[in-house]
Structure 1
Amino acid sequence: MNHVYLKDEHEIFRRSFRRFLQKECVPYYDEWEENRLVPRSFWRKMGEQGFLCPDVDESYGGNGVDWGFSVIINEELERVGSSLVGIGLHNDIVIPYLTSYGTEEQKRKWLPTCVTGETITAIAMTEPGYGSDLANIQTTAILDGDHYLLNGQKTFITNGIHADLVIVACKTNPQAVPPHKGMSLLVVERNTPGFTRGRKLNKVGLHAQDTAELIFEDCRVPKENLLGEEGKGFTYLMEKLQQERLIVAIAAQVSTERMLELTLDYVKSRKAFGKAISKFQNTQFKLVEMATDIEMGRTFLDQLIAEHMEGKDIVAKVSMAKWKLTEMARDVATQCMQLHGGYGYMEEYEIARRYRDIPVASIYAGTNEIMKTIIAKNLGL
């Protein structure tokens, strides 16, 4: 892949990371899927080798490199399997909140162990009954002396079981008008009194990715754990959603590339009616259509990544990519499974796992319907 934003040092890094995954991840991935959990030991190995939070400044233990290295990490993890999505969330969704809005004291306290893999992070936005309606969340945090009393429930939280550090979106001023102006971000640490975990959720796909309910009952959070300014939480979330949605688009694109690769190999080796099924015109047309869509998706995505790395505001384009590439991935999964025939429905074939893993990408980080409303607004509609 000749990405416009990558240089020789990025490709050297890619080869190194791919070798690491072949040794430390690929042989165990099926076992992790069966156990419904990526072990903490793998996180620590990632940290030891410098594959966590690569863009964090060296003063906090990171490598201080450009975001192209994070793109490579996300691409190579997705090539192995979508259940590794929690690592990308840690590196490129949660940690940027700490680096952008954290105080110097907070950064020195939390970032070094996030880089080593000793501390695993999560972000808790979604609530039962309040999915995309972020401004109307019901979790509250009321200041009581030197602590906030945090009360509420979160659900569908990626890394929810492993998380040692959770950024919680909550209302510090429930009476604020409009409601989003009362939202703040609190950092809740493991073992904080009043913080418990509910069920590890049993999902259709992403089996090795731990996803959980989080419960806060008079959870006493030190006021020093307020991230940024009180009342600015909604603004911070909006500022970081561009990168979050770009991460989802990258994973969707890589997944489609992998599914096409698997299917091309399969149709060339599988025979029916005396010849390889790749020789049938219908098979060829389906694969040609998918290959064309995937190539166009890659071209658009690479340009967006380059623009994002340049610091440009590309919210509308990223919304387009998140919507279009996740829909394409779901369509490709269906067509590739069909071309595998009955074998495509068997768990030992990777296409079956891809088929069940990919649909959620059109739901999380803002549903694709939300993406369309963002695009419409930017079109002046």
Structure 2
Amino acid sequence: MKQDLFESPDYYLLDDLLSEEHLLVRDAARQWVKRDVSPIIEAYAQKAEFPKQIVSGLAEIGAFGPYIPETYGGAGLDQISYGLIMQEIERGDSGVRSTASVQSSLVMYPIYTYGNEEQRQKYLPKLASGEWMGSFGLTEPDHGSNPGGMTTNFKDKGDHYLLNGAKLWISNAPFCDVAVVWAKNEEGRIHGLIVERGMEGFSTPETHNKWSLRASATGELLFDNVKVPKENLLPKKNGLGAPLGCLDSARYGIAWGAIGAAMDCYDTALRYAQERVQFGKPIAAFQLQQKKLAEMITEITKAQLLAFRLGQLKNEGKASTAQISMAKRNNVAMALNIARESRQILGGMGITGEYSIMRHMMNLESVVTYEGTHDIHLLITGADITGHQAFK
């Protein structure tokens, strides 16, 4: 079985800025990834299957709703702890981090933030323990970057709502027990509905033939006259701002998670460069390889500082959507570039499943697109600094 030799880079001694709790949380997640994810993830990626046996482990390290209060089964941690957990999980695999991100930020977060007490008590403890898994239905076949154009809708039928439509590219869909679905009412206003597996007319076909996120389960959410009880409507917020608020939380986690993928690629490339001998010396002794490695650690360090400061702002309730967009865009692009450079350092070996780099590279091609594309996040920043929206 493959041994995980990962050593985390900390060039600017950022561990000194973390609390004892932060370090305990991060190290618990790191050890779990080394023990339960790294030895199996290549095999699961090769066969395009999500390793469902790790769900209980994700729950045990607090990956499901880490910032949700303990009253509802969460760990009651701060936002930096949440980020560190996502960093460590994505160091193992972006698809596994996607599973945790969706559960935490896109399912538990809206139920906790927009739901009533009955909904919190019913759903959150089972989601926190991993007994139930959730998915988030916003993206549609014809509406990705423009979610406000969605056509999924529900009608008031007196004692229930009747839901129709379809959602696409949904992480966790094939095995989800509940789905937080965003749909328009008869007036065209967007609301969140909790849809449960087993409701007649609700199906979740799996998406196959992916070259990316192969160890993550992706699918569709299809609604054919689904009767949704009225008590399943999230009452505390509606409009497009409601699902976008969830995406802020998820994008924040991605900004940390991408650092983990970059760290793993860098660590793999550094170790390989020190061991691989060509022309009578380790390739790490050649200037061009040192240039690559030096630029990698510089970009990782910059991303760490960006994420840490964003975490402080999140803890203080000051982080804006535009600030989160900047971090998501920068850190994912950084990780993707490092994956590509790391693959070159490994030469032909870099394309094999013997190493994690090619898997990270393929995964990050999805991460750079989902939950706001690279270009859309650029325009969010542009709109914020100029006051003019370019994508409307």
Please report the RMSD computed on the Cα atoms of aligned residues, expressed in angstroms: 1.9
What whole-Å deviation, never above 9, does each CA across 1:301-339 have from its counterpart, x for those lacking one? 211111111110322222111122222222211111111
Contact (CA 8 Å) 1:122, 1:167: kept in 2 or not? yes
- Pairwise CA distance, 1:3: 5.0
Runs of 4+ in 1 over 4 A off after TM superposition: 48-51
Could you say which residue in structure 2 is the equivalent of 1:153? 166
Q: Do the aligned residues in 2 keep the contact of 1:37 with 1:208 (CA within 8 Å)?
A: yes
Per-residue CA deviation, residues 108-145 of structure 1 (Å, 9 max, x unaligned), is 11111111111101101111121111110011111112
Q: Which residue of 188, 192, 195 maps to 1:188?
A: 195
Kept in 1: contact 2:25–2:85 (CA 8 A): no
CA contact (8 A) 1:192 1:220 kept: yes
- Could you tell me which residue of structure 2 aligns to residue 234 of structure 1? 240
> In 1, distance between residues paired with 2:220 and 2:246?
23
**Percent identity over the alignment?**
32
Q: Is the 8 A contact 1:171 1:184 kept in 2?
A: yes
Equivalent residue letter for 1:228: P
Instruction: Tell me, yes or no, if the aligned pair for 1:256 and 1:333 is still in contact at 8 Å.
Output: yes
**1:157-176 → structure 2 map (5 Å cutoff):** 157-173=170-186, 175-176=187-188
Aligned length: 374
Q: Please report how far the alpha carbon of residue 76 of structure 1 lies from its aligned counterpart in structure 2 after TM superposition.
A: 1.4
- Say if 2:94 is the partner of 1:88: no
- Structure 1, unmatched stretches of 5+, are 177-181
2:112 corresponds to which of 92, 99, 106: 99
- Is the partner of 2:76 in helix, strand or coil? coil
- Preserved CA contact (<8 Å) 1:277 1:283: yes
Distance 1:48 1:286 in 2: 37
Distance 1:375 1:208, change over 3 A: same
Q: Are 2:161 and 1:139 equivalent residues in the alignment?
A: no
Task: Kindly indicate whether the alpha-carbon contact (under 8 Å) linking 1:153 and 1:213 is maintained by their aligned counterparts in 2.
Answer: yes
What code does the residue aligned with 2:179 have?
A: V
Higher mean displacement: 28-37 or 325-334:
28-37
- Please tell me whether the aligned partners of residues 132 and 366 of structure 1 are also in contact (alpha carbons under 8 angstroms): yes
Normalised to the residue count of structure 2, the TM-score between the two structures is 0.90
What residue is the counterpart of 1:365 in the other structure?
371
CA distance in 2, matches of 1:29, 1:254: 15
Aligned: 1:203 with 2:210? yes
Q: Which residue in the other structure is 1:55 paired with?
A: 67
Cα 1:321–1:14 change in 2 (3 A) is closer
Where does residue 7 of structure 1 map in the other structure?
19
Following superposition, the deviation at residue 5 of structure 1 comes to 6.2
Which structure carries more relative contact order (alpha carbon 8 Å, separation 6+)? 2
**C-alpha separation in 1, matches of 2:323 and 2:191:** 27
Q: 2:36 aligned with 1:30, yes or no?
A: no
Which residue of structure 2 aligns with residue 123 of structure 1? Answer: 136
Return the alpha-carbon distance in structure 2 between the equivalents of residues 56 and 12 of structure 1: 18
